[in-house]
Structure 1
Amino acid sequence: MKQVSKGVAPILAVLVVFAIFLITQGVNPIEIYTSMITSSLTNSYGIGEVIIKSTPLILVAVATSISAKAGLVNVGGEGQLVIGALFATYTAVFFVGDMPSIIGLLCMALAGMLGGLCWSGIAAILRVKANMNETITTVIMNYIAYLVVSVAVYGKLKDPDAFSYPMSPKIADSLKLPTITGKVSIGIMIALVVAVGAWYVLKKTSIGYQLRVIGGNTQAAIHAGYKVKKVQFCAMLVSGAIAGLAGMIEISAVEGRLRTTTGTNYGYYGFLAAWMAWNNPLAAIITSLVIGFLSVAGNVLEINSGLPSASTQILMAMVLLAILWKGKGEKK
């Protein structure tokens, strides 16, 4: 895919620059890169970890892409994911713990989507009613989301058996998503279905055409009679619901309980994956897997190089800057 090659090329350049950084730290970049690849991609455990890391990234990237097609910069995927996780956990702990598995999981999924939708809905209202910049409001709301989660896990959702640790009780085993192999759950299948469905809607339907027209030239769309604010409002709601679903999957398939650290960095990495894919949901699957690999391989980098975990964050930041620079060049 043309979009994928455009997104991956900057990563290769960044790897070269990062190799120079490793050399300055007295680390052999060839050995480190080789160990990162072999540890993450040559065994079932490593591949499984990459898939697990990539699942929420795919959903957040798709959510970001839908907003972007409507001309909006939604950086709030992380907050929407976290609130979705909060709603799903609350539902699991207080309402559906004794229900049959399929019903309980469905209720958790709906609750997670509702949580993400409500959170993105606040930014959507501020955008269409007060004309506030959605980029700023969604970033601010990411921080507020974690504060809301902290209040919950220190309060009503706190596990009484967790002593002073801020976390919710474990959800019932019946509310955990079935696994495909090892620790990999059907969450990845859900993410892939959502990505393919989003691509089809954006590419092949009249709704997608409206989004592309509005995102391409908002003023022209207004003159053409499109209900721009209504479409943008709905796009933000759908985006939030998808990110909230990612939060539910994270609780049900990975963590099993809500913590103050649930979903950390997933929103920003998902946003990065969407930009790397030029807001193409299908291409976002690949770019999310790339970032998932870098995230897992970063642990190997830390262990084998002796460098602090911040080194991985430096690598991710360099990738983001490269993509932003590439995007600026594309607009000229």
Structure 2
Amino acid sequence: MSPTNRAAWLPAPNEKLEIRPSEFVKPGPGEILIKNKAVSINPVDFYFQDGYSPTGKPRILGQDVAGEVVEVGEGATDFAQGRRVLAHVVGLGTGRPQDSGFQEYSIAPALSTCPIPDDMSFEQATVLPLAISTAAHGLFSSEYLGLPLPRHTVQDTGKTLLVWGAASSVGCVAVQLAVAAGVNVVATASQKNFDFCRQLGASEVFDYNSPSVVGDLTAALQKRDVIGAYDAISKRDTQLNTAQVLAQLGGGKLAVTLPPVDEIPATVTATGVYAVNIILNGKDKAIGHAIWHDFLPGALKSGQIKPMPKPLVFGHGLETLQGALDKLRAGVSALKVVVTL
């Protein structure tokens, strides 16, 4: 008899989550079935609850899971039953309920699944998956910033990257991946998170609340070989501020995590990142393999990539997910909201 599965369903946009059964699905080729032990909350989750998606069909949210392998599909030979893993699940891209995270069992692509080191908890591990894919797509795809791939033995490129919002979930990973790629990082954050960003690897940090931040960044970057910028926040004001810095430096590439706004200067090429492309898109899957399989397992084990920001465990059980969504919607700083299962 197959195990039963339960999920936190979003019945329709602008409605509360409902806990009810979800199908228990076996993994197909290249897939892994995971019993979830912890999930984390991302802004995209409450965006969909708040009506970002035009569909009125019930759906399961959740992009980040950490748990134990229950079963592996054909070809997923790197993972054995009982293995502790973290995974970026891709229901946002496939539309299949079994591919989302807010449930007891999830299907994950083997491509976006990674073993968890013995000294890393499920709560720590689940802060990483979507941020890894989001940061990696913007940093390493040739359509975006085109950085060299990260290495365990870092080779300095002499290049500099501006990361706006470095204490955010995506910002934390973008800084660490860029440093591993041999790129110097200049970052923005609130003043209270300056030391935190330096611990991640940023060489300089500027206060994004300062009225002179655009001028300060421009002055600091004028003598550097700037490869571009990554806006990990991507609200209208952050996109315009980041783009203005690049424009004053002569222009360049800007990766953003939300759709680019219309007022970007003509000398700046702003492109929106879509994280699942490095998992589902044939052209970008090579980046997914390089990051998730060639680099990340060793980087997590050595501490080169740290599970940051720290998890804020909001509660235990599917029933606490709505409150966790509301907590993130209200705002957190240098923390990732997590629910254990």
TM over 0.5: no
Shorter-chain TM-score tier: under 0.3
Give me the TM-score of the superposition, normalised by structure 2: 0.27
- Larger RCO of the pair (alpha carbons < 8 Å, separation 6+): 1
Q: Which has the higher strand share?
A: 2
TM-score, length of structure 1 as denominator length: 0.27
